[in-house]
Amino acid sequence: MGMRVGIDIGGTKTHAVAVDAAGDVLAESTRPTGRGHEQVLVSAELVVADLAGIIGVAPETFESIGVGIPGTVDVHTGYVSHAVNLGIEGLDLAVELGTRIAVPIYLDNDVNAAVLGAYRVLGHDLASLAYLNVGTGLAAGLVLNGKIHRGFGGFAGEIGHIPVEPNGLLCACGQIGCLETIASGIAIARRWPTDDSQPIRALFRAAEAGEPLAQAVRDRLADGIVDAVRILVLTTDVDAVVIGGGVMTAGRELWELLDQRFTALAASSPFLESVDLRGRVRPVPPGPSVAAIGAALLGETHPALTLPGSAHAGTAFA
């Protein structure tokens, strides 16, 4: 039947979808993400079992399982490293998951999965698309001419580490004043620490109530997101930029701040007016997680995984 599974492993939740050959979602499941190697694998196993149960098939019936995960991913070997929020330093995720479920496993990082899913959901009138993830960190995934663009070393879209404040905060990457130190969950935690379980909403509430520091951090956040969109559009000239991620749960109030800034930029610069930044940005499409949908599509678009230096070249893990 050609059903594929996509799993989006996030810092708190693991979302999964099963899609048919046309890419339409047949079933969904969400579970909390465990921390550490074993628990992350168990979370993935559980959502696959959920989907198989809902549809009424054995997990081995699925044609492929694609996984989107935050961290540094080797798409050829299925190895993930530096997934700090998940408690993973290095894990042979594709091999390990393929040992537990006898289905070919494909792996990519979360923003690449998200841009692929958003591109599918938004339709093919777009030649190119960026997915700007304003989450714990700040990064973008790129689809150019219908294909994921990674670049030479896999760094395409890592715009969170473009420095914009010469006297700004030290970034985890070692540079000073990166965009990620202004516009991300990490930035908000550093600049406006709170014990609130929903720090973004708490920040916007405090700013609304007139707290000067909260207003400054909130406004700088909006500035940083606008900078990120401008950098993406002026370097890639993508048709559209989808803005998603946990920080965007601030919702309408944040979008109003972005609108004000795009309008002011266009008014001050005929050049930027012609670029039409505002006309290119859009929210994440409603419905099932685009990152999970994109992960399911990895099995269609990705090269088969290969064990480094082995005779397994050209075969996916199973």
CB of 21 within 8 A of CB of 2?
A: yes
Binding segment for Zn ion among 30-38, 88-96, 176-184, 217-225 (CB under 5 A)?
A: 176-184
Please give the Cα distance from 298 to 257 (Å, whole number): 35
- To which residue do tokens 């406006």 refer? 192
Is 164 a binding residue for Zn ion by CB under 5 A? The answer is no
By beta-carbon proximity to Zn ion, the closer residue of 103 and 159 is: 159
Q: What is the dihedral of CA 261, 262, 264, 270, to 10 degrees?
A: 150
Is 171 a binding residue for Zn ion by CB under 5 A? The answer is yes
> How big is the chain, counted in residues?
318
**Nearest approach, Cβ of 116 to Zn ion (angstroms)?**
25
Distance of CA 6 to the CA centre of its chain: 14
Binding segment for Zn ion among 53-61, 82-90, 171-179, 291-299 (CB under 5 A)?
A: 171-179
**Nearest approach, Cβ of 231 to Zn ion (angstroms)?**
14
- 155, amino acid identity: F
Torsion over CA: 27, 31, 35, 41 (sign): negative
Binding segment for Zn ion among 4-12, 163-171, 182-190, 219-227 (CB under 5 A)?
A: 163-171
At 112, phi and psi to the nearest 5? -65, -40
Please give the Cα distance from 83 to 257 (Å, whole number): 31
Please tell me whether residue 4 adopts helix, strand or coil conformation.
strand
Is 16 a binding residue for Zn ion by CB under 5 A? The answer is no
Residue 13, strand partner residues: 32
Is 178 a binding residue for Zn ion by CB under 5 A? The answer is yes
**Nearest approach, Cβ of 267 to Zn ion (angstroms)?**
31
Sequence-distant (6+) residues with CB within 8 A of 181 are 165, 168, 169, 170, 171, 187, 190
Is 130 a binding residue for Zn ion by CB under 5 A? The answer is no
Binding segment for Zn ion among 14-22, 133-141, 160-168, 259-267 (CB under 5 A)?
A: 160-168
Is 218 a binding residue for Zn ion by CB under 5 A? The answer is no
Of 85, 107, 87, 86, residue with least CA distance to 96: 107
Is 176 a binding residue for Zn ion by CB under 5 A? The answer is no
Is 52 a binding residue for Zn ion by CB under 5 A? The answer is no
Of 283, 299, 287, 298, residue with least CA distance to 25: 287
> Using CB under 5 A, which of 57, 126, 173, 275 touches Zn ion?
173
How far is CA 315 from each of CA 137, 166, 301, 308, 311, rounded to the nearest angstrom? Answer: 34, 48, 14, 12, 9
**Nearest approach, Cβ of 183 to Zn ion (angstroms)?**
12
**Nearest approach, Cβ of 247 to Zn ion (angstroms)?**
17
By beta-carbon proximity to Zn ion, the closer residue of 92 and 180 is: 180
CB of 160 within 8 A of CB of 133?
A: no
**Nearest approach, Cβ of 20 to Zn ion (angstroms)?**
41
Is 51 a binding residue for Zn ion by CB under 5 A? The answer is no
**Nearest approach, Cβ of 140 to Zn ion (angstroms)?**
14
**Nearest approach, Cβ of 10 to Zn ion (angstroms)?**
21
Is 169 a binding residue for Zn ion by CB under 5 A? The answer is no
Binding segment for Zn ion among 46-54, 161-169, 220-228, 241-249 (CB under 5 A)?
A: 161-169
Binding segment for Zn ion among 104-112, 174-182, 189-197, 237-245 (CB under 5 A)?
A: 174-182
Which residues make up the interface to Zn ion (CB under 5 A)? 161, 171, 173, 175, 178
